[in-house]
Amino acid sequence: GLWPNFKANCREIYNSFKEPQYFSIIIYMAVTALFVPTFSAFNYFFYMDVVGLTKFTYSMLAVLGFVGVFFGTQLYRKWFMEWEFRTLVLIDVAVELFISPLKLLFIFRVTPEWGLPDILVIIFTKSIHGIMSQCFVFLPFAVIAAKVCPKRIEATSFALLGSISSFRGTLRAWIGTYVNEAFVGVSKDDLSQYWVLYLIGFGCSFIPIAFIWLLPTNASVVELQKKMKLKEE
């Protein structure tokens, strides 16, 4: 029945929390959700109303994002599977820091004055973003999450991590909306302060570095797996 299954799942989740490597990942996701807002909802209006993209072009950019995901997957499988998750997160931040000046110049509409077509800048930044997010964030997180899930309750434990990760994205969007309404005031009819939202999001993207110690290392994951193997024996 529903109630016995619910109690059994709660017991499994409670047992998962006993593993520090598992629990620390949840804390890290909670912290990054609270302190790193996103303002992606305004990207559409900026591309449509300010840059002047057509809906067809915007939809093709979404397809381009999937291409970046494919290349990011191949890069991760070939070169980065054995790297520390902490190191990959730092690389992702470094790449964002490298391309952020170009994004800011694009927002201020300086790049067209320099002869750089808007579509070229968008393709470059979106491709880099898709590759980096897949290679340095999503796939490493999925791998390490699978490794720290306790034995015999892997499905429940991994499902919980996946649910928290999905809700994390929603919560970041809610917080971004609150920050905009309370302090900036950007709307689809007035995008003059869009650059402020970008700078807020860019600045907050460095906050997770202060909590990166919460992410388990490869050595701690191997130790956890050995401990779980001994329990089985």
- 209-232: pLDDT as tens digits: 999 999 999 888 888 888 777 766
Mean pLDDT, rounded, for 77-91: 90
Mean pLDDT, rounded, for 64-75: 84
| CB proximity list for 84: less than 8 A, separation 6 or greater | 217, 218
Dihedral Cα 113, 118, 122, 128, nearest 10 deg:
-50
How far apart are the C-alpha atoms of 1 and 172, rounded to whole Å? 35
Tokens of 226: 């050995």
Task: Tell me the average pLDDT of the chain.
Answer: 87
State the maximum Cα–Cα separation within the chain, in Å, rounded to a whole number. Answer: 68
Confidence of residue 200 (pLDDT cuts 50, 70, 90): very high
Q: Helices (H) and strands (E) in the chain — how many of each?
A: 10, 0
Mean pLDDT, rounded, for 96-112: 90
Is a pLDDT exceeding 80 seen at residue 137?
A: yes
